[in-house]
Amino acid sequence: MPSSRGLARALVAPYAKHDGPARVLEVGAGTGPVTAELARIIGPQDEIDVCEIDDHFAAVLHEKYFKSGPLADAARAGRARLLNQPMQAIEGEDRYDFIISGLPLNGFEPPLVTDILACIQRLLKPGGTYSYFEYAAARRLLRWSINGKTRRRVTQVSSMVGALIGKHEIDRQLIFVNVPPAYARHLRFEDGKQREA
């Protein structure tokens, strides 16, 4: 199910409250519920990159938002880009003030989660905010409802994500108007350079 408008608004809230020019990266955009909120609030000097690895979803995003949609003017001005690639292919460090993720970390293998979290920390500016969502109680329910190798994978990812939340979470909101209900989590890495997951 696509994220609800309420969840999308909760994820972009730190950016919406920001004063001055900002650079924003959205990863795992899917069909664009968060992209729609970013397009609604983009400032005249802001830059937005939307990263989506899936070719079909990238084509939908291009047609809906970048070709003639709400981000078309910003795209023509070079302030909005659609990146049809893995986020790990984005070069540089300290590029973004805000990173907003729709990536389903609980469904990935631990080495990929490690790579994604390291990439987020590499790309986020010091003092920047990383926002993502996870379904309420998803990690706990997954650990209890599966067995064997999958359970070990989910337990390992849950441990990694839980440690990150415990150390870096600055805010969270439980969004009931979503199927299923989800937490919008906001994290800040104090020095922007911590590479642990």
Q: What is the pLDDT of residues 142-195, one digit of tens each?
A: 545 566 777 788 888 888 998 999 999 999 999 998 778 899 999 999 754 444
Average pLDDT of the segment spanning 30-55: 96
The CATH code of domain 5-187 reads: 3.40.50.150
Q: Global pTM? A: 0.90
The confidence score (pLDDT) of residue 152 equals: 83
Pair of tokens at residue 16: 């919406």
Burial of 135 (0-12, 13-18, 19+ CB in 10 A): middle
DSSP designation for 84: -
Average pLDDT of the segment spanning 47-57: 98
Cβ pair 85, 53 in contact under 8 A = yes
pLDDT digits (tens, 9 = 90+) for 121-154: 999 999 999 999 988 765 555 545 566 777 788 8
The confidence score (pLDDT) of residue 144 equals: 53
DSSP designation for 121: H
DSSP designation for 101: E
Q: In what order do the strands lie in the sheet with 169-175?
A: 80-83, 47-51, 23-27, 96-101, 124-135, 182-187, 169-175
The confidence score (pLDDT) of residue 154 equals: 82
Report whether pLDDT(50) > 80: yes
